[in-house]
Amino acid sequence: MLFRALNDMKLRTKLFLSFIVVVFIPVLVVGILLTNELRNMALGNATDQTLTNVQRVKARTAELMNVAIDSAYRLANDERLGAVATRKYENIYDLVQAYRDYTDFKENRRLYKEVSNIRFYMDNPTLLDNWEFVQPEQAIVQSAWYQKALNSTNGMISWYYLEDDRDHKKYLSLVRKVNFPEQGSNGVLSINLNMEMLNSILSQESFETMIVDDSNTIVAANRSGMVGKTMADVDFQKDVIMEQGGSFDAYVDGNESRVLIEPIMPQSSMNALRIISVFSIASIVKDANRINVLALMVISASLVLAIILIYAVATILSKRMLRLSKHISKVATGNLDIALKIDGKDEIGQLSRQFNAMVASINGLVAEVQESNRQKNLLESKQNEIKLKMMASQINPHFLFNALESIRMKAHLKGEKEISQVVRLLGKLMRRNIEIGTGMTKLSSEIDIVRCYLDIQKFRYEDRLQYSLLIDPRAGDTNIPPLIIQPLVENAVIHGLENKTEGGIVYVKAEMDGNLIRVDVFDNGEGMSADKIAQLTTSMNETEDDENNRIGLRNVHLRLQLTFGSEHGLVFKSEPGVGTHITFTIPLGGEFHV
Protein backbone atom coordinates (compact mmCIF):
# COMPACT_ATOMS: atom_id res chain seq x y z
CA MET A 1 0.00 0.00 0.00
CA LEU A 2 2.82 2.37 0.90
CA PHE A 3 4.73 1.60 -2.29
CA ARG A 4 1.59 2.15 -4.34
CA ALA A 5 1.04 5.51 -2.66
CA LEU A 6 4.67 6.45 -3.34
CA ASN A 7 4.35 5.40 -6.96
CA ASP A 8 1.21 7.54 -7.32
CA MET A 9 2.99 10.66 -6.06
CA LYS A 10 4.33 13.25 -8.42
CA LEU A 11 8.09 13.48 -8.82
CA ARG A 12 8.23 16.88 -7.12
CA THR A 13 6.33 15.54 -4.10
CA LYS A 14 8.64 12.52 -3.94
CA LEU A 15 11.70 14.77 -3.94
CA PHE A 16 10.30 16.97 -1.17
CA LEU A 17 9.22 13.93 0.85
CA SER A 18 12.66 12.37 0.41
CA PHE A 19 14.26 15.64 1.51
CA ILE A 20 12.10 15.81 4.63
CA VAL A 21 12.73 12.17 5.57
CA VAL A 22 16.41 11.97 4.64
CA VAL A 23 17.62 15.51 5.45
CA PHE A 24 15.20 17.71 7.36
CA ILE A 25 14.12 15.29 10.11
CA PRO A 26 17.67 13.91 10.75
CA VAL A 27 19.11 17.45 10.81
CA LEU A 28 16.33 18.56 13.16
CA VAL A 29 16.84 15.58 15.48
CA VAL A 30 20.63 15.96 15.44
CA GLY A 31 20.28 19.71 16.03
CA ILE A 32 18.01 19.14 19.05
CA LEU A 33 20.30 16.46 20.45
CA LEU A 34 23.42 18.57 19.91
CA THR A 35 21.72 21.63 21.39
CA ASN A 36 20.68 19.73 24.49
CA GLU A 37 24.08 18.09 24.73
CA LEU A 38 25.87 21.43 24.37
CA ARG A 39 23.57 22.97 26.97
CA ASN A 40 24.11 20.05 29.35
CA MET A 41 27.86 20.23 28.79
CA ALA A 42 27.86 23.95 29.57
CA LEU A 43 25.79 23.36 32.70
CA GLY A 44 27.95 20.43 33.68
CA ASN A 45 31.14 22.40 33.22
CA ALA A 46 29.71 25.32 35.15
CA THR A 47 28.57 22.99 37.92
CA ASP A 48 31.97 21.34 38.09
CA GLN A 49 33.69 24.71 38.12
CA THR A 50 31.34 26.00 40.81
CA LEU A 51 31.88 22.87 42.88
CA THR A 52 35.62 23.36 42.57
CA ASN A 53 35.26 26.99 43.56
CA VAL A 54 33.07 26.11 46.52
CA GLN A 55 35.60 23.56 47.70
CA ARG A 56 38.30 26.18 47.42
CA VAL A 57 36.19 28.69 49.35
CA LYS A 58 35.49 26.02 51.93
CA ALA A 59 39.15 25.18 52.33
CA ARG A 60 40.26 28.80 52.65
CA THR A 61 37.38 29.63 54.99
CA ALA A 62 38.19 26.59 57.09
CA GLU A 63 41.82 27.79 57.33
CA LEU A 64 40.58 31.16 58.50
CA MET A 65 38.26 29.60 61.08
CA ASN A 66 40.90 27.13 62.28
CA VAL A 67 43.13 30.05 63.26
CA ALA A 68 40.36 31.28 65.54
CA ILE A 69 39.76 27.77 66.86
CA ASP A 70 43.44 27.31 67.69
CA SER A 71 43.59 30.70 69.40
CA ALA A 72 40.46 29.90 71.40
CA TYR A 73 41.93 26.59 72.52
CA ARG A 74 45.17 28.17 73.71
CA LEU A 75 43.44 31.01 75.49
CA ALA A 76 40.91 28.72 77.14
CA ASN A 77 43.69 26.61 78.61
CA ASP A 78 45.83 29.55 79.71
CA GLU A 79 45.87 29.84 83.54
CA ARG A 80 46.82 33.49 83.30
CA LEU A 81 43.46 34.23 81.68
CA GLY A 82 41.73 32.68 84.67
CA ALA A 83 43.95 34.57 87.05
CA VAL A 84 43.07 37.90 85.48
CA ALA A 85 39.37 37.16 84.90
CA THR A 86 38.48 35.63 88.30
CA ARG A 87 40.55 37.86 90.61
CA LYS A 88 38.72 40.19 92.93
CA TYR A 89 40.42 43.53 92.56
CA GLU A 90 40.55 45.89 95.55
CA ASN A 91 41.51 48.97 93.59
CA ILE A 92 41.70 50.30 90.07
CA TYR A 93 45.47 50.30 90.08
CA ASP A 94 45.70 46.52 90.54
CA LEU A 95 43.12 46.02 87.77
CA VAL A 96 44.91 48.25 85.32
CA GLN A 97 48.23 46.63 86.18
CA ALA A 98 46.70 43.16 85.59
CA TYR A 99 45.26 44.26 82.26
CA ARG A 100 48.65 45.69 81.31
CA ASP A 101 50.49 42.53 82.25
CA TYR A 102 48.07 40.26 80.27
CA THR A 103 48.91 40.78 76.59
CA ASP A 104 47.76 37.49 75.07
CA PHE A 105 44.72 39.04 73.33
CA LYS A 106 46.88 41.72 71.73
CA GLU A 107 49.53 39.22 70.74
CA ASN A 108 46.96 37.03 69.03
CA ARG A 109 45.63 39.95 67.02
CA ARG A 110 49.16 40.94 66.11
CA LEU A 111 50.32 37.45 65.16
CA TYR A 112 47.17 36.34 63.33
CA LYS A 113 45.70 38.71 60.81
CA GLU A 114 42.75 36.31 60.52
CA VAL A 115 41.61 37.52 63.98
CA SER A 116 39.99 40.94 64.13
CA ASN A 117 39.15 41.18 67.83
CA ILE A 118 38.96 39.07 71.00
CA ARG A 119 36.52 39.62 73.83
CA PHE A 120 36.05 37.76 77.11
CA TYR A 121 32.77 38.07 78.99
CA MET A 122 33.13 37.45 82.74
CA ASP A 123 30.65 38.04 85.56
CA ASN A 124 33.10 39.75 87.94
CA PRO A 125 31.93 43.05 89.44
CA THR A 126 35.52 44.17 90.07
CA LEU A 127 36.32 44.08 86.33
CA LEU A 128 36.09 47.13 84.11
CA ASP A 129 35.31 47.02 80.37
CA ASN A 130 38.40 47.64 78.26
CA TRP A 131 37.01 46.19 75.01
CA GLU A 132 38.80 42.91 75.81
CA PHE A 133 37.41 41.99 79.23
CA VAL A 134 33.73 42.77 79.31
CA GLN A 135 31.28 42.74 82.19
CA PRO A 136 28.16 41.35 80.37
CA GLU A 137 25.11 43.49 80.50
CA GLN A 138 21.69 42.07 81.13
CA ALA A 139 20.88 42.08 77.40
CA ILE A 140 23.94 40.05 76.62
CA VAL A 141 23.33 37.64 79.46
CA GLN A 142 19.81 37.01 78.22
CA SER A 143 20.87 36.60 74.57
CA ALA A 144 20.51 33.16 72.98
CA TRP A 145 24.10 32.86 71.92
CA TYR A 146 25.35 33.69 75.42
CA GLN A 147 23.02 31.28 77.14
CA LYS A 148 23.84 28.52 74.66
CA ALA A 149 27.56 29.07 75.29
CA LEU A 150 27.11 28.85 79.05
CA ASN A 151 25.04 25.69 78.73
CA SER A 152 27.44 24.00 76.32
CA THR A 153 29.80 21.20 77.14
CA ASN A 154 33.28 22.40 77.89
CA GLY A 155 35.38 22.67 74.73
CA MET A 156 32.49 22.96 72.25
CA ILE A 157 32.37 26.06 70.13
CA SER A 158 29.66 27.87 68.20
CA TRP A 159 29.64 30.38 65.38
CA TYR A 160 27.48 33.49 65.39
CA TYR A 161 27.18 36.69 63.43
CA LEU A 162 27.57 39.20 66.25
CA GLU A 163 27.95 42.96 66.57
CA ASP A 164 31.14 44.22 68.15
CA ASP A 165 30.55 46.85 70.84
CA ARG A 166 33.72 48.70 69.93
CA ASP A 167 32.96 49.59 66.27
CA HIS A 168 29.38 48.39 66.18
CA LYS A 169 30.14 46.23 63.17
CA LYS A 170 29.06 42.66 62.80
CA TYR A 171 31.59 39.85 62.60
CA LEU A 172 31.52 36.11 62.24
CA SER A 173 32.51 35.22 65.77
CA LEU A 174 33.71 32.06 67.48
CA VAL A 175 32.00 31.66 70.86
CA ARG A 176 32.92 29.16 73.56
CA LYS A 177 32.65 28.74 77.28
CA VAL A 178 35.83 28.88 79.40
CA ASN A 179 35.68 27.08 82.75
CA PHE A 180 37.71 28.00 85.82
CA PRO A 181 37.21 24.96 88.05
CA GLU A 182 39.44 26.15 90.86
CA GLN A 183 37.54 29.35 91.22
CA GLY A 184 34.19 27.68 90.52
CA SER A 185 33.28 30.16 87.79
CA ASN A 186 33.25 30.47 84.01
CA GLY A 187 33.22 33.01 81.20
CA VAL A 188 32.47 33.25 77.49
CA LEU A 189 35.22 33.83 74.93
CA SER A 190 34.35 35.54 71.60
CA ILE A 191 36.85 35.79 68.76
CA ASN A 192 35.88 37.89 65.73
CA LEU A 193 37.19 36.80 62.35
CA ASN A 194 38.72 39.27 59.92
CA MET A 195 35.72 39.97 57.70
CA GLU A 196 37.83 41.66 55.04
CA MET A 197 39.78 38.44 54.56
CA LEU A 198 36.58 36.42 54.52
CA ASN A 199 34.98 38.71 51.95
CA SER A 200 38.18 38.70 49.86
CA ILE A 201 37.94 34.92 49.64
CA LEU A 202 34.45 35.23 48.13
CA SER A 203 35.29 38.20 45.91
CA GLN A 204 37.56 36.02 43.79
CA GLU A 205 34.67 33.81 42.71
CA SER A 206 32.98 34.35 39.34
CA PHE A 207 29.58 33.16 40.52
CA GLU A 208 27.46 34.62 43.29
CA THR A 209 28.73 33.04 46.51
CA MET A 210 27.74 33.63 50.13
CA ILE A 211 28.39 32.19 53.60
CA VAL A 212 25.28 31.66 55.75
CA ASP A 213 25.12 30.76 59.44
CA ASP A 214 22.65 28.33 60.97
CA SER A 215 20.08 31.11 61.46
CA ASN A 216 20.12 31.74 57.67
CA THR A 217 21.92 35.04 58.08
CA ILE A 218 24.31 35.95 55.31
CA VAL A 219 27.61 36.67 57.04
CA ALA A 220 29.70 37.16 53.86
CA ALA A 221 28.97 37.52 50.13
CA ASN A 222 30.62 38.66 46.95
CA ARG A 223 27.55 40.65 45.92
CA SER A 224 27.10 44.00 47.54
CA GLY A 225 24.14 44.60 49.77
CA MET A 226 23.74 40.96 50.73
CA VAL A 227 25.74 40.82 53.98
CA GLY A 228 23.59 40.98 57.08
CA LYS A 229 20.40 39.94 55.32
CA THR A 230 18.66 36.68 55.94
CA MET A 231 17.80 34.19 53.26
CA ALA A 232 14.16 35.11 53.77
CA ASP A 233 15.02 38.65 52.65
CA VAL A 234 16.37 37.33 49.35
CA ASP A 235 14.10 36.21 46.49
CA PHE A 236 15.15 32.63 47.00
CA GLN A 237 13.08 29.52 46.40
CA LYS A 238 11.78 28.54 49.83
CA ASP A 239 12.29 24.80 49.64
CA VAL A 240 16.00 25.27 48.93
CA ILE A 241 16.74 27.69 51.79
CA MET A 242 16.79 24.96 54.43
CA GLU A 243 18.86 22.46 52.45
CA GLN A 244 22.16 21.65 54.15
CA GLY A 245 24.06 20.43 51.08
CA GLY A 246 23.81 19.39 47.46
CA SER A 247 23.01 20.76 44.01
CA PHE A 248 19.57 22.15 43.23
CA ASP A 249 17.74 23.82 40.37
CA ALA A 250 15.79 26.75 41.74
CA TYR A 251 14.50 30.22 40.90
CA VAL A 252 16.61 33.01 42.38
CA ASP A 253 15.51 36.60 41.80
CA GLY A 254 13.03 35.20 39.29
CA ASN A 255 15.79 33.56 37.18
CA GLU A 256 16.24 29.86 36.63
CA SER A 257 19.43 29.06 38.49
CA ARG A 258 21.52 26.25 39.83
CA VAL A 259 22.36 26.35 43.54
CA LEU A 260 25.28 24.51 45.16
CA ILE A 261 25.27 24.25 48.96
CA GLU A 262 28.33 23.03 50.85
CA PRO A 263 28.36 22.83 54.70
CA ILE A 264 31.34 23.95 56.82
CA MET A 265 31.50 22.09 60.14
CA PRO A 266 34.79 22.79 61.87
CA GLN A 267 36.06 20.41 64.56
CA SER A 268 34.35 20.66 67.96
CA SER A 269 31.66 22.98 66.54
CA MET A 270 28.08 22.74 67.69
CA ASN A 271 26.69 24.48 64.62
CA ALA A 272 27.72 24.71 60.98
CA LEU A 273 27.98 27.32 58.28
CA ARG A 274 26.92 26.88 54.68
CA ILE A 275 28.60 28.05 51.52
CA ILE A 276 25.92 28.81 48.92
CA SER A 277 26.95 29.41 45.31
CA VAL A 278 24.38 30.48 42.73
CA PHE A 279 24.74 30.85 38.99
CA SER A 280 22.09 31.72 36.44
CA ILE A 281 21.48 28.97 33.91
CA ALA A 282 20.75 31.60 31.27
CA SER A 283 24.18 33.18 31.75
CA ILE A 284 25.90 29.80 31.59
CA VAL A 285 24.14 28.63 28.46
CA LYS A 286 24.35 32.07 26.85
CA ASP A 287 27.38 31.12 24.77
CA ALA A 288 25.87 27.74 24.02
CA ASN A 289 22.62 29.44 23.00
CA ARG A 290 24.55 31.88 20.83
CA ILE A 291 26.30 28.96 19.14
CA ASN A 292 22.96 27.20 18.82
CA VAL A 293 21.35 30.28 17.26
CA LEU A 294 24.26 30.62 14.85
CA ALA A 295 24.07 26.91 14.03
CA LEU A 296 20.30 27.21 13.64
CA MET A 297 20.74 30.13 11.25
CA VAL A 298 23.31 28.19 9.21
CA ILE A 299 21.16 25.05 9.20
CA SER A 300 18.04 27.06 8.32
CA ALA A 301 19.86 28.84 5.50
CA SER A 302 21.16 25.49 4.26
CA LEU A 303 17.70 23.93 4.43
CA VAL A 304 16.13 26.90 2.63
CA LEU A 305 18.83 26.72 -0.03
CA ALA A 306 18.30 22.96 -0.30
CA ILE A 307 14.54 23.46 -0.65
CA ILE A 308 15.10 26.06 -3.37
CA LEU A 309 17.51 23.75 -5.18
CA ILE A 310 15.16 20.78 -4.85
CA TYR A 311 12.27 22.92 -6.10
CA ALA A 312 14.34 24.13 -9.05
CA VAL A 313 15.60 20.62 -9.87
CA ALA A 314 12.11 19.15 -9.45
CA THR A 315 10.65 21.86 -11.70
CA ILE A 316 13.29 21.27 -14.37
CA LEU A 317 12.82 17.50 -14.20
CA SER A 318 9.03 17.81 -14.25
CA LYS A 319 9.04 20.16 -17.25
CA ARG A 320 11.44 17.96 -19.16
CA MET A 321 9.50 14.80 -18.37
CA LEU A 322 6.22 16.57 -19.20
CA ARG A 323 7.64 17.52 -22.60
CA LEU A 324 8.68 13.89 -23.09
CA SER A 325 5.20 12.73 -22.03
CA LYS A 326 3.49 15.14 -24.46
CA HIS A 327 5.65 13.98 -27.36
CA ILE A 328 4.96 10.33 -26.47
CA SER A 329 1.23 11.15 -26.48
CA LYS A 330 1.58 12.74 -29.93
CA VAL A 331 3.36 9.64 -31.21
CA ALA A 332 0.59 7.51 -29.70
CA THR A 333 -1.93 9.45 -31.79
CA GLY A 334 0.05 8.66 -34.93
CA ASN A 335 2.02 11.89 -35.33
CA LEU A 336 5.48 10.68 -36.30
CA ASP A 337 6.71 13.96 -37.79
CA ILE A 338 8.09 15.27 -34.48
CA ALA A 339 11.51 15.56 -32.89
CA LEU A 340 12.12 16.04 -29.16
CA LYS A 341 14.86 18.50 -28.17
CA ILE A 342 15.91 18.13 -24.52
CA ASP A 343 19.37 19.29 -23.57
CA GLY A 344 21.59 17.48 -21.12
CA LYS A 345 23.45 14.22 -20.81
CA ASP A 346 21.45 12.85 -17.89
CA GLU A 347 18.92 10.03 -17.99
CA ILE A 348 16.14 12.30 -19.31
CA GLY A 349 18.43 13.60 -22.05
CA GLN A 350 19.30 10.01 -22.88
CA LEU A 351 15.58 9.14 -22.96
CA SER A 352 14.93 12.02 -25.33
CA ARG A 353 17.67 10.83 -27.68
CA GLN A 354 16.34 7.28 -27.47
CA PHE A 355 12.83 8.64 -28.10
CA ASN A 356 14.04 10.44 -31.23
CA ALA A 357 15.85 7.30 -32.34
CA MET A 358 12.69 5.28 -31.70
CA VAL A 359 10.54 7.71 -33.69
CA ALA A 360 13.09 7.64 -36.52
CA SER A 361 13.12 3.85 -36.35
CA ILE A 362 9.30 3.78 -36.42
CA ASN A 363 9.31 6.13 -39.40
CA GLY A 364 11.83 3.87 -41.09
CA LEU A 365 9.75 0.80 -40.33
CA VAL A 366 6.61 2.54 -41.58
CA ALA A 367 8.44 3.54 -44.76
CA GLU A 368 9.69 -0.03 -45.16
CA VAL A 369 6.19 -1.38 -44.62
CA GLN A 370 4.77 1.10 -47.08
CA GLU A 371 7.47 0.25 -49.60
CA SER A 372 6.90 -3.44 -48.97
CA ASN A 373 3.17 -3.01 -49.49
CA ARG A 374 3.82 -0.98 -52.61
CA GLN A 375 6.12 -3.70 -53.94
CA LYS A 376 3.58 -6.37 -53.04
CA ASN A 377 0.85 -4.46 -54.77
CA LEU A 378 3.10 -3.88 -57.76
CA LEU A 379 4.03 -7.57 -57.85
CA GLU A 380 0.39 -8.56 -57.66
CA SER A 381 -0.33 -6.04 -60.38
CA LYS A 382 2.35 -7.56 -62.61
CA GLN A 383 1.13 -11.05 -61.87
CA ASN A 384 -2.42 -9.94 -62.64
CA GLU A 385 -1.12 -8.36 -65.82
CA ILE A 386 0.15 -11.76 -66.91
CA LYS A 387 -3.11 -13.35 -65.99
CA LEU A 388 -5.13 -10.66 -67.77
CA LYS A 389 -3.03 -10.98 -70.92
CA MET A 390 -3.47 -14.71 -70.78
CA MET A 391 -7.18 -14.30 -70.20
CA ALA A 392 -7.37 -11.98 -73.20
CA SER A 393 -6.61 -15.00 -75.35
CA GLN A 394 -9.10 -17.21 -73.52
CA ILE A 395 -12.05 -17.33 -75.96
CA ASN A 396 -13.77 -20.42 -74.81
CA PRO A 397 -10.56 -22.31 -73.91
CA HIS A 398 -12.29 -25.69 -73.84
CA PHE A 399 -13.42 -25.15 -77.38
CA LEU A 400 -9.85 -24.27 -78.42
CA PHE A 401 -8.36 -27.27 -76.61
CA ASN A 402 -10.96 -29.60 -78.14
CA ALA A 403 -10.35 -28.12 -81.58
CA LEU A 404 -6.57 -28.49 -81.23
CA GLU A 405 -7.01 -32.04 -80.01
CA SER A 406 -9.22 -32.82 -83.02
CA ILE A 407 -6.61 -31.33 -85.37
CA ARG A 408 -3.86 -33.32 -83.64
CA MET A 409 -5.84 -36.59 -83.94
CA LYS A 410 -6.59 -36.04 -87.65
CA ALA A 411 -2.95 -35.20 -88.33
CA HIS A 412 -1.91 -38.29 -86.43
CA LEU A 413 -4.35 -40.50 -88.31
CA LYS A 414 -3.08 -39.14 -91.60
CA GLY A 415 0.50 -39.83 -90.58
CA GLU A 416 1.46 -36.23 -89.93
CA LYS A 417 3.28 -37.03 -86.71
CA GLU A 418 5.29 -33.82 -86.68
CA ILE A 419 2.17 -31.70 -87.02
CA SER A 420 0.47 -33.82 -84.41
CA GLN A 421 3.40 -33.28 -82.01
CA VAL A 422 3.42 -29.51 -82.58
CA VAL A 423 -0.34 -29.28 -82.01
CA ARG A 424 0.09 -31.25 -78.78
CA LEU A 425 2.85 -28.94 -77.58
CA LEU A 426 0.81 -25.88 -78.52
CA GLY A 427 -2.15 -27.18 -76.52
CA LYS A 428 0.08 -27.98 -73.57
CA LEU A 429 1.65 -24.50 -73.70
CA MET A 430 -1.73 -22.79 -73.88
CA ARG A 431 -3.13 -24.90 -71.06
CA ARG A 432 -0.13 -24.10 -68.84
CA ASN A 433 -0.39 -20.39 -69.59
CA ILE A 434 -4.09 -20.35 -68.79
CA GLU A 435 -3.52 -22.22 -65.51
CA ILE A 436 -0.88 -19.73 -64.32
CA GLY A 437 -2.02 -17.69 -61.35
CA THR A 438 -0.25 -15.07 -59.19
CA GLY A 439 1.69 -17.58 -57.07
CA MET A 440 5.05 -19.29 -57.50
CA THR A 441 6.03 -22.21 -59.69
CA LYS A 442 8.91 -24.66 -59.78
CA LEU A 443 11.92 -23.95 -61.94
CA SER A 444 11.43 -27.36 -63.57
CA SER A 445 7.85 -26.40 -64.61
CA GLU A 446 9.15 -23.15 -66.09
CA ILE A 447 11.72 -25.13 -68.09
CA ASP A 448 8.89 -27.37 -69.42
CA ILE A 449 7.11 -24.29 -70.76
CA VAL A 450 10.39 -23.10 -72.30
CA ARG A 451 10.92 -26.49 -73.94
CA CYS A 452 7.34 -26.52 -75.36
CA TYR A 453 7.81 -22.99 -76.69
CA LEU A 454 11.19 -23.84 -78.31
CA ASP A 455 9.84 -27.04 -79.88
CA ILE A 456 6.94 -25.10 -81.42
CA GLN A 457 9.33 -22.42 -82.73
CA LYS A 458 11.65 -25.10 -84.05
CA PHE A 459 8.71 -26.54 -86.01
CA ARG A 460 8.21 -23.05 -87.42
CA TYR A 461 11.86 -22.24 -88.20
CA GLU A 462 12.97 -25.83 -88.83
CA ASP A 463 16.74 -26.04 -89.06
CA ARG A 464 17.24 -22.29 -88.64
CA LEU A 465 16.62 -22.65 -84.86
CA GLN A 466 18.65 -24.78 -82.50
CA TYR A 467 18.42 -24.74 -78.70
CA SER A 468 20.17 -26.23 -75.69
CA LEU A 469 18.82 -26.59 -72.14
CA LEU A 470 21.47 -27.16 -69.45
CA ILE A 471 19.66 -27.38 -66.08
CA ASP A 472 21.29 -28.46 -62.82
CA PRO A 473 18.95 -31.07 -61.27
CA ARG A 474 19.50 -29.52 -57.84
CA ALA A 475 17.85 -26.29 -58.99
CA GLY A 476 14.64 -27.90 -60.29
CA ASP A 477 12.67 -27.59 -57.01
CA THR A 478 13.43 -23.91 -56.53
CA ASN A 479 10.40 -21.62 -56.49
CA ILE A 480 10.31 -18.78 -58.99
CA PRO A 481 7.57 -16.46 -60.31
CA PRO A 482 5.79 -17.93 -63.40
CA LEU A 483 6.75 -16.88 -66.92
CA ILE A 484 10.22 -15.61 -66.05
CA ILE A 485 12.47 -17.59 -68.40
CA GLN A 486 9.99 -18.11 -71.28
CA PRO A 487 9.70 -14.32 -72.09
CA LEU A 488 13.50 -14.14 -72.21
CA VAL A 489 13.64 -17.08 -74.63
CA GLU A 490 10.82 -15.56 -76.66
CA ASN A 491 12.75 -12.26 -76.82
CA ALA A 492 15.86 -14.11 -78.00
CA VAL A 493 13.95 -15.94 -80.77
CA ILE A 494 11.89 -13.01 -82.04
CA HIS A 495 14.38 -10.16 -81.75
CA GLY A 496 17.60 -12.09 -82.01
CA LEU A 497 17.04 -14.83 -84.62
CA GLU A 498 13.85 -14.04 -86.57
CA ASN A 499 15.52 -11.63 -88.99
CA LYS A 500 18.69 -13.71 -89.26
CA THR A 501 18.52 -15.73 -92.48
CA GLU A 502 20.96 -18.37 -91.42
CA GLY A 503 19.19 -18.84 -88.11
CA GLY A 504 20.90 -19.39 -84.82
CA ILE A 505 20.95 -21.12 -81.46
CA VAL A 506 19.44 -20.40 -78.03
CA TYR A 507 21.09 -21.59 -74.85
CA VAL A 508 19.27 -21.79 -71.53
CA LYS A 509 21.46 -22.60 -68.55
CA ALA A 510 20.65 -22.90 -64.82
CA GLU A 511 23.50 -23.77 -62.46
CA MET A 512 24.42 -23.48 -58.80
CA ASP A 513 26.57 -20.49 -57.76
CA GLY A 514 27.11 -20.77 -53.99
CA ASN A 515 23.79 -19.97 -52.32
CA LEU A 516 22.37 -18.67 -55.59
CA ILE A 517 21.01 -20.20 -58.77
CA ARG A 518 22.33 -18.45 -61.84
CA VAL A 519 20.12 -18.50 -64.96
CA ASP A 520 21.62 -17.53 -68.34
CA VAL A 521 19.82 -17.13 -71.67
CA PHE A 522 22.17 -16.85 -74.72
CA ASP A 523 21.49 -16.30 -78.36
CA ASN A 524 23.86 -15.71 -81.29
CA GLY A 525 21.47 -13.36 -83.05
CA GLU A 526 21.78 -9.83 -84.24
CA GLY A 527 22.82 -8.36 -80.87
CA MET A 528 22.48 -4.75 -79.67
CA SER A 529 24.67 -1.73 -79.44
CA ALA A 530 25.71 -0.14 -76.14
CA ASP A 531 23.26 2.72 -76.70
CA LYS A 532 20.39 0.34 -77.25
CA ILE A 533 21.32 -1.63 -74.12
CA ALA A 534 21.35 1.62 -72.15
CA GLN A 535 18.00 2.56 -73.64
CA LEU A 536 16.62 -0.87 -72.79
CA THR A 537 17.89 -0.63 -69.22
CA THR A 538 16.29 2.79 -68.84
CA SER A 539 13.01 1.61 -70.30
CA MET A 540 12.85 -1.29 -67.86
CA ASN A 541 13.17 1.15 -64.95
CA GLU A 542 10.90 3.91 -66.30
CA THR A 543 8.38 2.81 -68.96
CA GLU A 544 5.79 0.13 -69.43
CA ASP A 545 6.00 -2.56 -72.11
CA ASP A 546 4.67 -1.49 -75.47
CA GLU A 547 4.54 -4.93 -77.02
CA ASN A 548 1.04 -6.15 -77.68
CA ASN A 549 -0.22 -9.47 -76.29
CA ARG A 550 3.07 -10.65 -74.77
CA ILE A 551 4.92 -10.46 -71.49
CA GLY A 552 7.56 -7.68 -71.60
CA LEU A 553 11.11 -7.72 -70.29
CA ARG A 554 10.29 -4.95 -67.84
CA ASN A 555 7.60 -7.09 -66.25
CA VAL A 556 10.11 -9.90 -65.75
CA HIS A 557 12.73 -7.51 -64.40
CA LEU A 558 10.39 -5.89 -61.87
CA ARG A 559 8.87 -9.16 -60.68
CA LEU A 560 12.34 -10.57 -60.01
CA GLN A 561 13.30 -7.48 -58.00
CA LEU A 562 10.02 -7.33 -56.13
CA THR A 563 10.22 -11.03 -55.26
CA PHE A 564 13.91 -11.50 -54.46
CA GLY A 565 15.36 -8.02 -54.09
CA SER A 566 16.83 -5.27 -56.24
CA GLU A 567 20.07 -7.18 -56.81
CA HIS A 568 18.20 -10.00 -58.57
CA GLY A 569 17.03 -8.09 -61.65
CA LEU A 570 17.96 -8.77 -65.29
CA VAL A 571 21.50 -8.06 -66.51
CA PHE A 572 22.17 -7.58 -70.25
CA LYS A 573 25.31 -8.11 -72.28
CA SER A 574 25.24 -7.79 -76.09
CA GLU A 575 27.33 -6.98 -79.09
CA PRO A 576 26.01 -6.29 -82.63
CA GLY A 577 26.45 -9.38 -84.85
CA VAL A 578 27.61 -11.50 -81.90
CA GLY A 579 24.49 -12.05 -79.87
CA THR A 580 22.80 -11.25 -76.57
CA HIS A 581 23.34 -12.63 -73.09
CA ILE A 582 20.64 -12.13 -70.41
CA THR A 583 21.29 -13.35 -66.89
CA PHE A 584 19.73 -13.18 -63.45
CA THR A 585 20.12 -14.89 -60.08
CA ILE A 586 17.65 -16.16 -57.50
CA PRO A 587 18.29 -17.41 -53.97
CA LEU A 588 18.57 -21.14 -53.51
CA GLY A 589 15.15 -22.41 -52.53
CA GLY A 590 13.50 -19.25 -53.88
CA GLU A 591 13.04 -17.37 -50.54
CA PHE A 592 10.79 -14.37 -50.77
CA HIS A 593 12.28 -10.91 -50.34
CA VAL A 594 8.98 -9.28 -49.38
In this predicted structure, what is the pLDDT of residue 594?
Answer: 47
Lowest mean pLDDT among 19-23, 70-74, 180-184, 590-594: 590-594
Query: Do 459 and 418 meet the contact criterion of CB atoms below 8 Å apart?
Result: yes
Position 507 scores a pLDDT of: 94
**pLDDT, average across residues 380-401:** 55
Q: Above 50 in pLDDT, residue 264?
A: yes
Residues carrying CATH 3.30.450.20, the chain: 48-284
Kindly give, in sequence order, each residue whose CB lies less than 8 Å from that of residue 136, ignoring residues fewer than 6 positions away. 121, 122, 123, 146, 188
The residues pairing with 176 across neighbouring beta strands, listed in sequence order, are 157, 189
Phi, then psi, of 181 in degrees rounded to 5: -60, -35
Q: Give residue 298's pLDDT.
A: 81
Q: What pLDDT score does 367 carry?
A: 79
* Per-residue pLDDT at 469: 93
Amino acid symbol at 212: V
Highest mean pLDDT out of 225-234, 274-283, 309-318, 413-422: 225-234
Average pLDDT of the segment spanning 56-60: 87
- At residue 238 the predicted structure's pLDDT band, cuts being 50, 70 and 90, is confident
Q: Give the side-chain half-sphere CA count within 13 A for 97.
A: 7
- How much is the pLDDT for 566? 83
Indicate the pTM of the whole model.
0.50
Closest CA to 146 of 189, 86, 183: 189
Whether 191 shows a pLDDT value over 80: the answer reads: yes
Location of each CATH 3.30.565.10 domain in the chain: 440-594
Query: For the chain, what percentages of helix, strand and coil (3-state, to nearest 5) are there?
Result: 55, 20, 25
Name the CATH superfamily, with its identifier, for domain 48-284.
Answer: PAS domain (3.30.450.20)
Confidence of residue 399 (pLDDT cuts 50, 70, 90): very low
Q: How confident is the model at residue 590 (pLDDT cuts 50, 70, 90)?
A: low
DSSP state, 393?
T
pLDDT digit string, tens, across residues 329-369: 877 777 777 777 766 667 767 777 777 788 788 888 877 77
- C-alpha angle 459-461-463 in degrees, rounded to nearest 5: 90
Q: Which fold has domain 440-594?
A: Heat Shock Protein 90 (3.30.565)
Average pLDDT taken over every residue of the chain: 80
Q: What is the pLDDT of residue 377?
A: 75
| Tens of pLDDT, residues 271-316 | 889 988 887 776 666 666 677 777 778 878 877 887 888 778 777 7
